[in-house]
Amino acid sequence: MQLTHLWRVFLMPDVKLRNALISMKWLEKIPLGPLALAALFMALAPLQPQPHLWEKLQMLWAGSLTRPIDIFDLLWHAALPLLLVAKVIQMKKTTSAREETGQTKAE
């Protein structure tokens, strides 16, 4: 069975080429503060009786996450927190790469 093009990119041994193909420049344009607030809101909404994200994760661990609406709800409430995690990881990588090359943010 032949791997799709996307999987070939992820399995590339050349890290520089893989990173060039998988660019996350659009993530740099999203402001961290509003993203963090929106991610917190989506992760905790609604507060009563319990946050949907926590409820759906419990269902996933129990093996009872089978209805399409529940799967959509999990993806809906997890999207912004996962995007926040991706942004923080990308910020750390960008900062460490700049420190290694001696560049500043203004350059």
Q: What is the pLDDT of residues 35-90, one digit of tens each?
A: 999 999 999 988 888 888 999 999 999 999 999 998 999 999 999 999 999 999 88
The answer to the question of residue 81 being in a domain is yes
The answer to the question of residue 61 being in a domain is yes
pTM of the model: 0.67
The answer to the question of residue 41 being in a domain is yes
Structure tokens at 87: 């942004």
2 confidence band (pLDDT: 50, 70, 90):
very low
Give the count of beta carbons closer than 10 Å to the beta carbon of residue 77: 22
The answer to the question of residue 14 being in a domain is no
Q: Domain range for residue 91?
A: 28-101
Number of domains within the chain: 1
Whether 38 contacts 80, CB under 8 Å = yes
The answer to the question of residue 6 being in a domain is no
The answer to the question of residue 96 being in a domain is yes
Distance CA(24)–CA(46), nearest Å, equals 31
Is residue 22 classed as helix, strand or coil in its secondary structure? coil
The answer to the question of residue 36 being in a domain is yes
